[in-house]
Homo-oligomer: A and B are copies of this chain.
């Protein structure tokens, strides 16, 4: 593997001159520049990023810390972050925490100091106060959970409002027993979506019935199916359900189908995340559609700005969302 030294020897100049050419320094005699460039391509020189970073103190890597790649929302988001990061010449290191807070912390603690310029974190178990200790100097952008009181850059949609809109849509169909699937003791987003759910019911003058709010400790298809089964087993089953993500909704739809409950006529279903899976499922899912590309772009931009100026005040970017109405809430009653 060719180094600057090799190239310099071949071109008959000093190492630094080659470095200057590589880095676009202006004052290099055309003749020398030409010879260096020739030598560069002759040797197929590639800078040793490790050495460069050691010198510069930057690494060119950012970490993307998220719960699980098998969750389509995160997979889609990861893909978009990869693309956005590429434009900043950043390579992305993906870290799966599988929902355990130890991993979230260890990852940042071990990678943080030297190997990454910053991190984009989609926290699941991580609590607000963890952030202080985990990465004293590491630029971090947080996704999803919106905790305004934290002095950390943050990108996300207005979860309360999004949930409210989703549930209002169900109520607008004439449904009166609207259930929710996805309550969770430790998740900030869950609390916010539940809040939106309550708001929508209150707006419509409907009571919040505890037996219609189903907890889901994970947000996988299985959890949605189990929660739906429980809801349908009740004395007065729901005629609509708002699921806190599309996977829960997919599971709910299946559980309904297995019990002969028809969607949407017997049960209207709304999901969250607008995953492609929901668009193709039978019936296709009405869902809250966050602008994932905007989230990814905003997160990377925010991280770039923080890396360039660590002293700037933390910013909270609110990205848009829309409600995608599909078969799971269309027609029927």
Residues of B within 8 A of A217 (CB): none
Flag if A93 contacts B92 (CB, 8 Å): yes
Closest chain B residue to A64, Cβ basis: B94
Interface of A, helix, strand, loop or mixed by DSSP: helix
User: Which residues 260-314 in A have Cβ within 8 Å of B in the complex?
Assistant: 276-277, 279-282
Residue-by-residue, is A117-145 near B (CB-CB < 8 Å gives 1, otherwise 0)?
A: 00000000000000000000100000000
Within 8 A of B (CB), among A1-60: 1, 46-51, 53-54, 59
Q: A221 contacts B276, CB within 8 Å?
A: yes
Mark contacts of A55-98 with chain B using CB atoms, 8 A cut-off: 1 yes-contact digit, 0 otherwise.
00001010000001110100110110011000000011111100
Q: Chain B residues with Cβ under 8 A from A114's Cβ?
A: 1, 46-51
Size band of the interface chain A makes with B? 35 or more
Counting CB contacts under 8 A, is A113 at the interface? yes
Q: Given that A69-B78, A94-B78 are contacting pairs, would A50 and B46 also be in contact in the complex, using a CB cutoff of 8 Å?
A: no
CB closest chain-B residue, reference A60: B115
Q: Does A110 contact B (CB under 8 A)?
A: yes
Known: A50-B53, A91-B93, A257-B282. A1 touches B113 (CB 8 A): yes
Residues of A participating in the B interface, judged by any CB pair closer than 8 Å:
1, 46-51, 53-54, 59, 61, 68-70, 72, 75-76, 78-79, 82-83, 91-96, 109-115, 137, 221, 225, 250-251, 253-254, 257, 276-277, 279-282
6 contacts between A and B (CB under 8 A): A46-B110, A69-B75, A72-B75, A91-B93, A251-B280, A257-B282
